[in-house]
Amino acid sequence: MIDALQVRLQRVLRRMMTRPRIDLPLAFGLLLLAGVGLATLYSASGGSMTMIVGQAGRFVMGGALLLLISRIPPSVLRSWTPWLYAGSVALLLVVATLGEVRSGSKRWLDLGVLSFQPSELLKLTMPMMVAWYLHPRQLPPSWKDIVAVGLLIAIPAGLIAEQPDLGTALLVSAAGAFALFLSGMAWWKIGSLLAAVGAMVPVAWHFLHEYQRNRVRTLLDPESDPLGNGWHIIQSQIAVGSGGMFGRGWQHGTQSRLDFLPEHTTDFIFAVFSEEFGLVGVAALMLLYAFIIGRCLWIAMEARDTYSRLLAGAIGMSFFVYVFVNGGMVAGMLPVVGVPMPLVSYGGTSAVSLLTGFGVLMSIHANRKVHD
């Protein structure tokens, strides 16, 4: 009995060594990123061990989920996809009717033990659903398929934007749109669709909340409102700019320590990073992000079928949206929306959901095409 168990264990271990189910370069990139995140958080939080331990705990939990999901073959994930998508949209509807209101928006679902944002689930189930839909179709997609995918994206994105949570709505729709892009949608179709979206912008402006419009207005002229919305933008730019080429050094950023920088452990943590590590640090971190995204796309190219390809590619590319939107917001290029810097910003759900997404990538990698 014991012997049999030992033999099995040895076999499993051998298999893991000879053919690892996880992609080591990607795992290495993620570990490095998590380390940078914790170090920055230590400085930004003023040495709060509660926050460090909490965040590290979430990384461990996310890592465990990553390993767990990497064991599920993509074919199984594909068969679950419609249910997962329908389930997460249903949860969104539940939130819309009886969600818990926190600081003015309705995004949380309280399960008694833990509360979470169902919109976070869509970040993964959305690209899964689009990939699932396009998988059996003839690609590049026809207009009919594009409209269908558009609806699959618009319904949850609209529900999330209504909460209101524009940042997540943006991330969710981007994830779906990338899958569509990667499926080979004709360039002229992409062009005309983008033109149509551009034409919709004035209409969308009409539907924004007043506070959201103010955020756009202050982006254009932050000095006009130095105590309200402009405060975030100005202080964040001062933090970034004062960092210079090499930064002020770890734990030596004054902007966050003296409490000038708002939200300096969550959405604006990248400003702390820029202040303390300078342009060199920013460029290095961008390289790391580029490496992770490139590795994701490489895994996507090696994938076995359309579903895996589209899903892996979309997850990798939407990782870029996080970086770009958050980095742009911190640098005063984009309006203030609640998008975290992935694996660096403090906060539970996004770290866990991101790592879950990478778990899917690992699974796709483990079941890649077999080269002759």
Alpha helix positions (H), the chain: 2-18, 24-44, 49-70, 74-98, 118-134, 143-161, 166-182, 187-207, 210-220, 229-243, 254-257, 269-301, 306-330, 348-366
Interface with other proteins, residue 45, by CB under 8 A: yes
Interface with other proteins, residue 118, by CB under 8 A: no
Q: Which of 37, 99, 156, 313 binds other proteins (CB under 8 A)?
A: 313
Q: Could you say which DSSP state residue 246 is in? A: T
**Could you tell me the smallest distance in angstroms from the CB atom of residue 246 to other proteins?**
10
Would you give the binding string for other proteins spanning residues 273-312, x where CB under 8 A is met? -x---xx--xx--x--xx--xx--x--xx---xx--xx--
Residue with Cβ nearer other proteins (153 or 300): 300
b/e for 274-296, b at 16 or more Cβ within 10 A? bbbbbeebbeebeeebebbbebb
CA distance 271 to 236: 6
Interface with other proteins, residue 181, by CB under 8 A: yes
User: What tokens were used for 48?
Assistant: 């709060």
**Residue with the two structure tokens 């990497």:** 70
Interface with other proteins, residue 250, by CB under 8 A: no
Q: Where in 120-159 is the site for other proteins (CB under 8 A)? A: 136-140
Interface with other proteins, residue 260, by CB under 8 A: yes
Q: Which of 146, 239, 364, 366 binds other proteins (CB under 8 A)?
A: 239
Q: Which of 106, 257, 266, 348 binds other proteins (CB under 8 A)?
A: 257
Q: How many CB atoms lie within 10 A of CB 112?
A: 5
User: What tokens were used for 335?
Assistant: 């309006």
Cis amide prior to 140 (ω within 30 degrees): yes
Reduced to 3 states (helix: H, G, I; strand: E, B; else coil), residue 101 is: strand
Interface with other proteins, residue 358, by CB under 8 A: no
Q: Which of 162, 266, 320, 348 binds other proteins (CB under 8 A)?
A: 320
CA distance 83 to 175: 18
Q: Which stretch binds other proteins (CB under 8 A): 24-32, 76-84, 178-186, 353-361?
A: 178-186
Interface with other proteins, residue 368, by CB under 8 A: no
Residue with Cβ nearer other proteins (240 or 366): 240
What are the residues facing 106 on neighbouring strands? 101
Applying CB under 8 A, the residues found at the interface with other proteins are: 45-48, 50, 102-104, 136-140, 178, 181-184, 186-187, 227, 231, 235, 237-245, 254-255, 257-260, 274, 278-279, 282-283, 286, 289-290, 293-294, 297, 300-301, 305-306, 309-310, 313, 317, 320, 323-324, 327-328, 331-333
